[in-house]
A and B are shown apart, each in its own frame.
Chain A
Amino acid sequence: MSALLSRPEIEDFLYHEAGLLDDWRLPEWLGLFTADARYEVPSTDLAADASPDDNLFYIADDRFRLEQRVARLMKRSGHSEHPRSKTRHLVTNVRIAANDGAALAITSAFAVYRTKDGITDLYVGRAFHDLVADGSGLRIRRKRCALDLDGLRPQGRISIIL
């Protein structure tokens, strides 16, 4: 078992993730995820720990669909994000909920600004990162973004990655 990672090291990892998203380096961002990874955004009237197997989410991707999501966003025919929006992912209030050296459960607060066509929308909420630490560093096994919103009003869509 490796030495326990400290919060600054985990924060560096989350900031790195945020930077890749804001730079639209999505294939590299995808490289942060494990082969069995999940990415989830529950609907705003669900509990933060609801299951996507019997509840309607906004997003519930397995690894395959996450790859497809990235592929779609990199295409010109992904109209919603072409021309691309500008985004800024702010990550704060990082806490280590569990850490046994190999598996970590991290919670954080996020605020993501998306600007397109003169309109800036805000997505705010709590992120849950299940991380695994192997010899090569940290990988994301699950990322769940629970929005602190009453619906996507006025945002309308989650066409970027939160």
Chain B
Amino acid sequence: MREPLGQARQEYVRVDPGRGLFKVSRRAFVEEQVLAAERAAIFDRCWLYLGHDTELAEPGAYLTRSVGGRNLIFNRDAAGEVRAFLNSCPHRGMRVCRERKGKAKYFQCFYHGWTFANDGCLKDQPGAGSDYGEAFNRDGGANLVAVPRLEPYRGFWFVCFDRNAASLADYLGGAKEYLDLTADQSEAGMAIIGGTQEYAIRANWKLLVENSYDGYHALTTHATYLDYLKSSVGSLAPVPIDGLARDLGNGHAVVEYTAPWGRPVANWIPMWGEDGKREIDAIYARLAARFGAARAERMAKKSRNLGIFPNLVINDVMAITVRTFYPVAPDYMEVNAWALGAADESAWARKFRLFSFLEFLGPGGFATPDDVEALENCQRGYCNAAEAPWNDISKGMLKNAPSVNDELQIRAFWTQWQTRIGTAMPAEGTPA
């Protein structure tokens, strides 16, 4: 029997507001029962990022993607409508689509030859006229199964496996403001650029949540990246990493700050030369004309690391990365990361965006490999959890306005995590 965790719930997140202490149990990163509870209370309940509008450029376009432990077909049907199906044949469950992406009017399961239109409807199966009754698919039970919920926000499509969940717009809440700051960067819209960085980290997925908007680690973990920035222009731009963290509600959080790196929209650095300055000035002027000086300044000059609960990261930094990741085991996650750019940007801007992306981001960049090293060594450290049981997430807790270098954003995640997981864990001493 499952019941609220009650007393034992304190075991995973321990908060002492008076002393400014926020502790997370290292058992939350290693226990199988925690992962099982996360699947039930988080990945089966929350809105999860599926993909971007621009990945389905035309009717018939499709891709297959693993989301929340399911394998999905994400496609645009013949009428242009975006859809998402569980990639399992209604007949025997085989994956109907075995390609990663492409364009198709029909999906055919090769096992017995059932064929589906790209709106999911069964079109034909061998023996259709003779071996099945006329009423066979009258209730649609032999069509591809659509995901329970599929909704977009500003080109970002999300699925939810909880039919009764609140709308995506309500779920995103305060995060919408920050998605807008990214989505508004071009009148032509933003687009996913070709090429996916697919990788894995031998660490618990929540470590990457924390790391993705953790300003505190930059100086030591990313010392060599900062050295590179200094070398690239002779000296580091006199812009400190400075700004605030915000709890956006529902477990979403963001840090927004100034930083010494260049931004394709639109913060010029000397490394980009005079041609680049003309390009960046023009992009900036367009923002100012569309949104006014203050918002243009914010969009162009501030970097933002946005975490949407549970596992979508949109870091609008020296380039924009859209990143999502799933646990395969307590100590192993799979990561997908894409680059997002202005759909209408020039060849120069696209090239420098990607150059900028790769200097920091991704498994071959000058920074992400050191994050991977850090996360994997956190995970290794948790073998000592019995005697050394607590992570500390207290930084800035007693401040009125915690900064990008504090840990408010990470506390926002864990607070929501505890709320959701608390009802999904078996009580201490109760067999699951």
Enumerate chain A interface residues (CB-CB to B < 8 A). 41-46, 50, 52-60, 64-65, 68-69, 71-72, 75, 77-80, 117, 119, 150-159
Contacts and interface: CB of A to CB of B under 8 A. Distances in A.
Interface residues of B, number: 42
A157 B359 contact: no
Given A55-B194, A152-B200, A157 B354 contact: no
Contacts of A119: 202
B384 to A, nearest CB: 16
Nearest to B228: A68
B198 A154 contact: no
Nearest to B198: A151
A19 to B, nearest CB: 22
B372 to A, nearest CB: 5
B362 interface: yes
B363 A154 contact: no
Nearest to A158: B364
B322 to A, nearest CB: 11
A77 B195 contact: no
Contact of B347 (A53, A56, A79): A53
A25 to B, nearest CB: 19
A53 B196 CA distance: 14
B137 interface: no
B241 interface: no
A150 B202 contact: no
Contacts of B358: 52, 56-60
Given A72-B366, A157-B368, A150 B350 contact: no
Interface string B352-372: 001101110011101011101
Among B202, B223, B350, B373, the one with the most A-chain Cβ atoms within 10 Å of its Cβ is B373
Contact of B200 (A77, A154, A159): A154
- Mostly, the A contact residues are loop
B198 A80 contact: no
B364 A59 contact: yes
Among A55, A69, A72, A75, the one with the most B-chain Cβ atoms within 10 Å of its Cβ is A72
Contact of A45 (B195, B200, B357): B195
A84 to B, nearest CB: 12
A159 B193 contact: no
Contacts of B231: 68, 71
Nearest to B355: A60
Given A59-B358, A79-B221, A151-B200, A157 B194 contact: no
A119 B331 CA distance: 14
Among all A-B residue pairs, the 9 with the closest Cβ atoms: A151-B198, A56-B195, A59-B364, A58-B364, A80-B369, A152-B199, A159-B369, A43-B195, A77-B223
B224 A72 contact: yes
A56 B100 contact: no
29 contacts: A42-B195, A45-B198, A46-B194, A50-B194, A53-B347, A53-B351, A54-B351, A56-B196, A56-B338, A56-B358, A57-B354, A59-B364, A60-B358, A64-B232, A68-B231, A68-B366, A72-B227, A75-B224, A77-B223, A77-B227, A78-B224, A78-B370, A150-B198, A152-B200, A153-B200, A154-B202, A157-B372, A159-B363, A159-B364
B364 A41 contact: yes
Among A71, A152, A155, the one with the most B-chain Cβ atoms within 10 Å of its Cβ is A152
A80 B115 CA distance: 48
Nearest to A149: B198
Given A43-B196, A45-B195, A54 B347 contact: yes
B10 interface: no
Interface string B333-347: 010001100000001
Given A72-B224, A157-B363, A157-B368, A151 B199 contact: yes
A82 to B, nearest CB: 9
Given A45-B198, A154-B202, A52 B354 contact: yes
Among A56, A65, A78, the one with the most B-chain Cβ atoms within 10 Å of its Cβ is A56
Contacts of A57: 195, 354, 358, 364
Among B193, B200, B364, B376, the one with the most A-chain Cβ atoms within 10 Å of its Cβ is B364
B5 interface: no
Contacts of B227: 71-72, 75, 77
